[in-house]
Amino acid sequence: MRLLLRPNMKYAKEIQRRKTFAIISHPDAGKTTLTEKFLLFGGAIQTAGAVKSNKIKKHATSDFMEIERQRGISVATSVMTFEYEGHLINLLDTPGHKDFAEDTYRTLTAVDSVILVVDSVNGVEEQTRRLMGVIAMRKTPVMVFINKMDRDGKNRFDLLEEIEKELKINLHPSTWPINSGKDFKGVYDLRQKSLVLFAAGTKAADEDVLKIEDLHDVVLDKKVGDKDAATLREDVELIDGVYGQLNVDDYLSGVTAPVFFGSAVNNFGVREMLDTFITIAPTPRSRQTTQRAVDVGEDKLSGFVFKIHANLDPKHRDRIAFLRVCSGKFERNKYYHHVRLDKDVRFSNPYTFLARSKDVVEESYAGDIVGLFDTGNFKIGDTLTEGEDFFFTGIPTFSPEIFKEVVNKDPMKTKQLEKGLQQLTDEGVAQLFTQFGGNKKIVGCVGELQFEVIQYRLLHEYTASVQFNTLPFYKACWIDSADKQKLADFTRFKMQNIAEDKDGKLVYLAQSEWFLQTERNNNPDITFQFTSEVQG
């Protein structure tokens, strides 16, 4: 799994120093706080509180304009680039709010690894479960940060068991806590064999770190007290016996996740994770396309769009397409091949996302994210190359969970409505389906909020007025079969439940789990899938 960069690769040095990852968590677990501490370590910001939260505050859930405003702010912080110990780190933020889960899913396609923040008090929560499903599918390497150790949390062994079971991943403790809540005394770093003592509000400065080669050293008793020293010795013995040494290849293949305990708000336990991260987290890797595997060390540029962010201001209809560079070098003002449109495009103001500001970027390398101003040429999954025709695979579309029929309230604006729906769904705001054999347009989203966003944007940006009628579906399954006759029969019999997605692929809209299961049982020759690959 480890990347072997050959010295003859032109950009080996640049690729070798890059790490591109996302922090994910259930809202309120501490993702924003941890991000901020990373940036402080990286020197990208000087003071705490400088990172605008990408979190949608609870009280704002009914006010989508406020949410969009916050999301607007968050564009600047959706990618943060900083340097640490000679490494260039691209940190991709993800919205914690469940209504924006699609956004997060897609961001996960652009990273090489993930840090998962778990609240030590609440343990595994709903949003984490969903996201980990996507991560497991992609076998993305994961590190876990168990946060808020300064609060009385769950028993740490129970917590590990819960995470392993719920998220179906093996854990490997890299640090181990001494108590929690007001008795929290610090962590023992199992890799470095050092004791890091906790003091609220400090930066875990070097003097707080004590090298302890032998845990039986009495200095441990002096520092944490006899009782806690004895417990730590027992715990560490148990951990060594059960977990042994971390197998880095298991981490890189997404089988095992190293675990760190700490308190983000106190900047405690963060450095230990960051140091391990830069040592073992993967550098950009080769990626599969529809034609061939693209080697990360290739000279020619390739990259794909994984996210599009629109400007809500109708006076500025521009959008930003986020391009993940997969190979070669991206240069300003150079022509690249837009594979889907089969045309050459160039960008005079691509920008990079340094935490302080959006800077125009002259060149970027594999692993980097570049922001491209777009006036409607891009959709999710679009690929740029230096002439070759291929699309990156593994950028799935997930089944929406709420489905509504679009009712055009102003027939004079049919054209505008079509265009609006087309463009908004290109951005990935929602998915558009057309009823099979009819022309009923169905919009599918992960959360209710998107419907409000769509309605508002159709009116203000496209002057189209719509109403949504809720449909009784709960999931969309992409269907296929080697036996085309059986597929044709099924779609004919189930016409009411069949639609086509934007790429013309057939979907079965299931009313409930029971219906879906029944159809699966009755039609063993038909495959039902909850995800579909984005098509360029």
Going across the sheet that includes 186-189, the strands are 175-178, 186-189, 194-197, 209-211
Closest CB 41 distance from ligand G4P, rounded Å:
16
User: Of the listed pieces 147-155, 181-189, 194-202, 300-308, which binds ligand G4P according to CB under 6 A?
Assistant: 147-155
Closest CB 122 distance from ligand G4P, rounded Å:
11
Q: Is there a contact between 509 and 535 (Cβ–Cβ < 8 Å)?
A: no
Closest to ligand G4P by CB, 25 or 399? 25
- Distance in angstroms between the alpha carbons of the first and the last residue of the chain: 28
- H or E stretch at 481: strand 475-481
Query: In angstroms, rounded to a whole number, what is the distance separating the alpha carbons of residues 269 and 30?
Result: 13
Closest CB 268 distance from ligand G4P, rounded Å:
7
How many C-alpha atoms does 364 have within 13 Å on its Cβ side?
33
Closest CB 269 distance from ligand G4P, rounded Å:
9
Closest CB 271 distance from ligand G4P, rounded Å:
14
Closest CB 155 distance from ligand G4P, rounded Å:
18
Q: Which amino acid, residue 262?
A: G
User: Of the listed pieces 20-28, 198-206, 353-361, 392-400, which binds ligand G4P according to CB under 6 A?
Assistant: 20-28
Q: Which amino acid, residue 218?
A: V
Total chain residues near ligand G4P (CB under 6 A): 19
Out of 18, 148, 172, 475, the residue judged to bind ligand G4P by CB under 6 A = 148
Out of 20, 33, 256, 523, the residue judged to bind ligand G4P by CB under 6 A = 33
Q: Tell whether residue 489 is a contact of ligand G4P (CB under 6 A).
A: no
x/- binding map, residues 84-103, to ligand G4P, per CB under 6 A? Answer: ------------x-------
Closest to ligand G4P by CB, 125 or 388? 125
Query: In angstroms, rounded to a whole number, what is the distance separating the alpha carbons of residues 363 and 379?
Result: 23
Listed in order, strand segments (DSSP E) in 355-440 are: 357-360, 363-365, 369-374, 383-385, 396-398, 402-408, 431-435
x/- binding map, residues 39-78, to ligand G4P, per CB under 6 A? Answer: --------------x-x-----------------------
Query: In angstroms, rounded to a whole number, what is the distance separating the alpha carbons of residues 51 and 76?
Result: 10
Query: In angstroms, rounded to a whole number, what is the distance separating the alpha carbons of residues 67 and 60?
Result: 6
Query: In angstroms, rounded to a whole number, what is the distance separating the alpha carbons of residues 177 and 187?
Result: 4
Q: Tell whether residue 499 is a contact of ligand G4P (CB under 6 A).
A: no
Query: In angstroms, rounded to a whole number, what is the distance separating the alpha carbons of residues 182 and 184?
Result: 6
Query: In angstroms, rounded to a whole number, what is the distance separating the alpha carbons of residues 247 and 35?
Result: 26
Out of 78, 94, 109, 147, the residue judged to bind ligand G4P by CB under 6 A = 147
Q: Tell whether residue 397 is a contact of ligand G4P (CB under 6 A).
A: no
Residues that bind ligand G4P (CB under 6 A): 25, 27-33, 53, 55, 96, 147-148, 150-151, 263-266
